[in-house]
Chains A and B, each alone.
Chain A
């Protein structure tokens, strides 16, 4: 039974300082519950508000842009001297045409590169930190990992654009591009290596931002794996790698998958660092992995000022539609992850429990 707060006197507590009166009100059980309920509802209301305003802005754009919005790569804002016309009740500038296939592909590919690099590194680092490093060193490395996660994205973006990108373009990319065999898939790594702003650098910069998230979460998860099953595995003659693969990782597999999705969410929505390193080629699907490209988030950032000067307001609606698309992609990955987590944990847990 909760502690009963002293009730306010009949006059409503006049004469008692306001702060104390408020405290008494809040410590009252029913009131506290009501206030708590309102606060708990706030995030849901905020999300609904954002979604509804976004959809209201975007809805006419869905109609006018149609399906070709997802199948074409074109960003034509209309000429400066174009007139405002109406098509199907939607006001737009003459000659306007939008298709964001390239931006959707750019978003997915850069995030995929980030995960391909970040996941093995992060999980490997987490295993090493927990199982091999002495406690004090592990704490130090862990602290740096958490510091890296807290670095503002604009700083990582600046480093990517000024230092890391040119380094990749000058010292790494040419060596890869010149020695990659000209066969399907691998030929995507051949060709001109550009100036260091593009798909590969964006993906790697994203990886730098994803690694601390996945690694720190995985480390905490792996720490929770009891020592007994692991000792059992070693007693059965398993090597370190086998122990990690067959006991430690399956024990927390679903959790690590959750951490990866957390990282993916970060990569998909990351704006500033990608805007600074993608080379921003609006509507361009790069010919190789070094080429300049654009993502959904970067396009919204760079086109906002231009969109404000569109007298028909249609470009703003298109940016809102783009935001809805990003939202759907992010939600879809989360739902997919939830389904995956359920499946993986179903098969994985007995292994750990059985030992």
Chain B
């Protein structure tokens, strides 16, 4: 099918666009905008479109895009059904594929296996030590210390909390109810639970506390490895324990390409793929369909179109943050949404 007609370069008049939101997407957005501003310059080598980016949090990204404070909001989560009712003119456009790692600080223990039931029991304080029979059962032959478990969770509202609690709920709805799935949740009282701010807080907090367990965005992979944290193999729907690798993340994402609806609002947690890593998500741009003027709308279309095509290049843009490119059919769906941006 032929893609909708989208501008491949910005309008010639100088324009400045603004972006704010997800801290997970922020570094990638920075490399995208830098490259874009370098590629499209006027005769005096000045960028035609300047894009200011900000790392404020997915919630602010959504709110600012909805009110028109910024042109593009960045979010780790798609718009909820209540959001779409409240802001009918708001789009969530998939830009890249991210994943979440489950990290732990247990010296000497490699390739720990965990599933949603055990994680839910750990995070609700039912399992409190690492040598608990339920963990032993998943890890035969691994010597687990009688160490207390320190559960880390995010203090600030976070897309990562949403992904993690979605996984717990998808794997074991009886232990983790759907009403406790959100970017902030009421954590059950687990002994030794600690709250950290931001992914970097999770990394340093886990490094400082032996016996910790934490959920951290895949873009922090190099930092968790540098901090000496282990990455757990996580059970997917068919019971296979997998590490978050480019292959397993792409396998999970591609099993959702057909079911991704035209508005691209879909949870990719605990998917059907037998060799897919179970905690995977789209990163979104939140954009209003009615922008201030036609030139601005055209420039936003051109930039986002560039992002879902040129910006998907793995070595230049995605590999440094360990994101995966969108499958071709999802790019088409994103383009269709981008073409709806007008004035």
Chain A residues proximal to chain B, CB less than 8 Å: 74-84, 93, 95, 166, 192, 194-195, 197, 279-284, 292, 302-309, 311-312
Contact = CB atoms under 8 A, between A and B. Distances in A.
Nearest to B179: A79
B189 A306 contact: no
Given A308-B60, A311-B86, A292 B194 contact: yes
A311 B80 contact: yes
A280 B166 CA distance: 22
Contacts of B166: 80
Contacts of B57: 305, 308
Interface of B: 56-60, 62-63, 77, 80-83, 85-87, 150, 155-157, 162, 166, 178-187, 189, 191-195, 197, 205, 208-209
B181 A75 contact: no
A195 B194 contact: yes
Given A74-B186, A79-B180, A308-B59, A302 B82 contact: no
Given A80-B166, A83-B81, 14 more contacts: A79-B178, A80-B77, A82-B80, A93-B82, A95-B179, A194-B194, A279-B194, A302-B156, A302-B197, A303-B157, A304-B59, A306-B157, A306-B184, A312-B82
Given A79-B178, A83-B81, A303 B194 contact: no
Contact of B81 (A81, A192, A312): A81
Contacts of B155: 280, 282, 302
A305 B60 contact: yes
Among A78, A292, A308: residue with most chain B CB under 10 A: A308
23 contacts: A76-B179, A77-B184, A78-B179, A79-B178, A80-B166, A81-B81, A81-B181, A95-B179, A192-B192, A195-B205, A279-B195, A280-B195, A281-B195, A282-B155, A302-B156, A306-B156, A308-B57, A308-B59, A308-B60, A309-B58, A309-B59, A309-B63, A311-B82
A309 B183 contact: yes
Contacts of B194: 194-195, 197, 279, 292
B82 A82 contact: yes
A292 B195 contact: yes
Contacts of B82: 82-84, 93, 311-312
A305 B178 contact: no
A81 B267 CA distance: 11
Contacts of B83: 309, 311
A307 B58 CA distance: 11
B316 to A, nearest CB: 30
A280 B194 CA distance: 8
Contacts of B195: 279-282, 292
B186 A283 contact: yes
Contacts of A305: 56-60, 156-157
B59 A306 contact: yes
Among A284, A306, A309: residue with most chain B CB under 10 A: A309
Nearest to A91: B86
Nearest to B182: A80
Contacts of B205: 195
Among B83, B86, B193, B194: residue with most chain A CB under 10 A: B194
Contacts of A76: 179, 186
Nearest to A298: B155
A309 B61 CA distance: 9
Among B56, B162, B183, B184: residue with most chain A CB under 10 A: B184
